[in-house]
Each structure stands twice: as structure tokens, then as C-alpha cells.
Amino acid sequence: MRKKIIAGNWKMNKTAGEGEALANAVKRELSAETKVDVVLCPAFTAISAVSQAVSGSQIAVGAQNMHWEADGAYTGEISAAMLRDLYCRYVILGHSERRQYFGETDESVNKKTHAALAAGLKPIVCVGETLEEREADQIESVITTQINGGLAGLTSAQFKNVIIAYEPVWAIGTGKTATPEQAQDVHAMIRGLLAKLSDKPTADSVRIQYGGSMKPGNAAELLSKPDIDGGLIGGAALDAQSFIEIVKAAADA
């Protein structure tokens, strides 16, 4: 049995004060939630405030990116140790927006994944096809390249600390969701790839989140699928009530 994991990806939204208020609102309802892993991923500037707000609760904090080097002359970058210092336990890596706008590649995702694990952070590694790729029947080849590239060189023990997020790019922020069946097909395919990279028991232990316009109205159905182990929530995570409802759907799934 894989424990469901719901993470809020706040993207470039919320100042420290706004983030603290949102975290407090989530904490009021979910402070003692133990059936589902709940993670809030604010912008770097709000991490400290959010960590303080949720301290003493079951809610964890994650970042949205990091650099792979431990320290040094990398102006503007943030290391895994810096995130650990602010009590982060997770980090989102290879989000499609980072791939599209900031030159993220499978190679950089792989370096970051190794660095995150070495520092004790759990990486949430994002993969997903564009609409063009889906229409050209390239889902399997695109996802295979992303998984094999992004997760190259991990041991089975390391795989157990990795979370995958399948986020079809055409469903992110568009209101279009993959149908539960479409998502389940890709999740099962991803689990097959993980088994090839490690072994079946390890692949069966890895949690695979769905992301892309997940909201209270569609969460329960998506989360009822056998290989959908949680959600990476963008827009709906900016509203405490919507996020809480998605977590409750996961707890009931």
C-alpha cells in the first residue's frame, strides 16, 4: 500500500506573509492528517515563514527547484543544504515550466535528483508530454526519455525516496484534465519503466502523482485509479479550502 501524497505547487505566487496565512489556514484543518502526506511548496522567499507556520504539524514543506552544486559561485542559485536549513523535506524538480522557460533538461534534472537525495531531500521529479507530442503518438517515447534520463544512476534504496509527478503539459493551468483512464495508462507505463530501472518491488513502492488541473471536483476519481498515488496541485493549491478538499479526497480514496 502506497501512502497518498498531495503537494501544493504555489509557483511564483504568495509573498511570505500571504504564504504564512495560507499555510495557517491549511494547518487549521490538516494539522493532524496522517493518512496522506501533505506538502506545501512555496516560492523560496516564503519557505521560512511557511516552515514556521506548519512546525509541529504533520504538514511538510518543499521547494520548487534547487541547484545541484553544494555551494560556490552560482549567483542566484539555492543549494539543497540551504533548503534543508529551512526545514524543507521535498523539492520539485524538472517541472515543465522550468523545462520550457528556464532550459531545464533531463541531464540537469538528473544532477539535481542525485544532489537532493544526497542531502536528504525527497525529489518530486516531473515528467509529461506536450499536446503536440500526444497527438503525434509520442507519449511513451517522451516519458521514457524523461524517466530514464532524469533518474539515471539511482540505487533501489534511493528510488524509494523519489516521487514522480506525471503532468501532461496540455493539462497544466488549462482546466483540461487527463481523464482518469488516460492518466492511469501513463502511470502504469511509468511504473513499468521504474521496474526496468530498478526492480518490481521497488517500482511498486514509488509514488506517482498526477498533476494538471486537479481540483476538488475531479480529485476523487483520479485518485481512485490503482497507479495514481497523489496529486501535484497548482492553481487549486492557492486556495486553502480547495487544497484541503483534495487532501480529504485522497484520505478517502
Q: What is the set of active-site residues? A: 95, 167
DSSP-assigned letter for residue 157: H
Contact 39, 90 (CB under 8 A): yes
Quote the least distance from Cβ 94 to ligand PGA, whole Å. 11
Quote the least distance from Cβ 130 to ligand PGA, whole Å. 14
Q: Name the nearest CA neighbour of 190 among 145, 220, 232.
A: 145
Quote the least distance from Cβ 131 to ligand PGA, whole Å. 14
Quote the least distance from Cβ 126 to ligand PGA, whole Å. 7
For ligand PGA, the closer of residues 8 and 110 by Cβ is 8
Q: Taking the CB of residue 228, how many other CB atoms lie within 10 A of it?
A: 26
Determine the 3-state secondary structure of 67 from DSSP. Answer: coil
- C-alpha cell recorded at residue 85: 536549513
Q: Enumerate the H helices of 119-227 as residue ranges.
A: 131-135, 139-150, 156-159, 180-197, 200-205, 216-223
- C-alpha cell recorded at residue 219: 480529485
For ligand PGA, the closer of residues 103 and 175 by Cβ is 175
- Residues lying near ligand PGA in the complex (CB under 6 A) are found at 9, 167, 172-173, 211-214, 232-236
Which residue's CB atom is positioned nearest to ligand PGA?
A: 234
Contact 227, 189 (CB under 8 A): no
Sign of the C-alpha dihedral computed for residues 87, 234, 107 and 76 taken in this order: negative
For ligand PGA, the closer of residues 125 and 158 by Cβ is 125
For ligand PGA, the closer of residues 172 and 208 by Cβ is 172
